Structure 1
């Protein structure tokens, strides 16, 4: 996807919560839980593997600021932090983005295993 067609590159389409020189954080418009933040590089990079070390550090800084904010305002009991890469990794917006998803007691009756729960059990793994 080209930068001019990327929703995350259209800064007027997102409400920025935090930013630094290389990254921005904003609320997910389709949150999994209250307090769900997205953190993206300012430059259009398709996925995690396109990021520079400096961009990774900038994103990490905002993930920590996001955790502090959600701890204070939403009293999260845990977190999921992740990024999807490619169509078969679940990526739907072709601009690298990290999810900071607060988790709460009772939001999943059996939270153990996280993303592993969606995969077919019994598949042979390498």
Structure 2
């Protein structure tokens, strides 16, 4: 594959069998098997059965925001296994929500937390000692 110009596994994993066959001068059946192997190694792609998705959904937990009104709007709190975007004007409380969720995550389960660990990255350097 390197001789054909492929250096990254992900580049192969996202190709169609036809594209790979043309670029690497392979048959489509061989290309398809290579792509399947690349997807498996890169842990991407593929379909998930409805039963497997249902099992995953059963593992979803809800983390309270600390606000009953917000939790109600969210259907019980922030879901695990999800990405949530919070947006609003400067000073509207976005950072405060992030900080509160971080605290709630590390709380013991008896107090509504997950006994978890957090890693907080501030990409705008706005969470200084003043906050």
Give the TM interval when normalised to the shorter protein: under 0.3
Which one has the bigger helix percentage?
Answer: 2
Task: Work out which structure has the larger RCO, using CA pairs closer than 8 Å and 6 or more positions apart in sequence.
Answer: 1
Q: Which protein shows a greater Rg?
A: 2
